[in-house]
Amino acid sequence: MFNLQQILGKKDQFFDLLEASAREACTSVQALSKFLENPDRLKTLDEFILSRRKEKRIADEISEALCTTFVTALEREDIEALSVSLYKIPKTVEKIAERILLAPHLLASVDLTRQTIILDKSTQTLLTMLQAMRAGDNLEKIKTHNDRLQVLEGEADKLMLELLKNLYNSNSDSVQVVFLKDLFELLEKVADRCRDAGNVISHIVLKNS
């Protein structure tokens, strides 16, 4: 049975920090859902900035801990790679909110509910994977979660292509086409980030099985 905690010794700070990082990814996506719920309400980036800054502080703590903690069997590069992958999620979500605030009227008739549902499921699955890794679940269980992430990323990709097809065949003006294309691609990129983080977790578990 895989048990990362045994590898790292008695200290569980990496588990705490990585799970905190995954929770911030979940929080950023939830903030995006709320951000899109009421298009008439004045919007700010405060929640996204706060989440991204928290994620950055966590990433910095992990880097510092890696410099001061002796890791026996687990490679430092693996923990750092996972930290970087997790940090990219709220960072990309913040970019989506930034784009929307540039011209919210161009999004008035567009429903992004399906995208945010996929992203919420993806971040929650990532958190579950980290918790399963901490609990010492075997490779098959981790792989099942990772397979779920692959499916969700595939759904996000298909949805983006569907939306782009509809957009290119609509009567939208060129400015709106460019605006929405950029937005759709960023949303799909968040799903990519989640998939990438899931692959890192699977890689860590596989190496230490």
Q: Which CATH number does the domain housing residue 150 bear?
A: 1.20.58.220
In this structure, is residue 27 part of a structural domain? yes
pTM: 0.86
In this structure, is residue 3 part of a structural domain? no
- Tally of structural domains, the chain: 1
* Long-range contacts of the stretch 98-103 (C-beta < 8 A, 24+): 98/45, 99/179, 99/182, 99/183, 99/186, 100/35, 100/36, 100/43, 100/183, 101/43, 101/45, 102/179, 103/175, 103/179
Query: In this prediction, what percent of the chain has a pLDDT beyond 70?
Result: 89
Provide the greatest CA pair distance for the chain.
61
Task: State how far the Cα of 182 lies from the Cα of 24, in Å rounded to an integer.
Answer: 24
150 pLDDT more than 90: yes
In this structure, is residue 1 part of a structural domain? no
pLDDT for 69 equals 65
Q: What does the pLDDT average to over 49-59?
A: 85
Could you read off the pLDDT of 153-195 as tens digits, one per residue? Answer: 999 999 999 999 999 998 889 999 999 999 999 999 999 999 9
Domain that residue 76 falls in = 10-207
Q: Name the average pLDDT for the chain.
A: 86
Task: State how far the Cα of 159 lies from the Cα of 167, in Å rounded to an integer.
Answer: 12
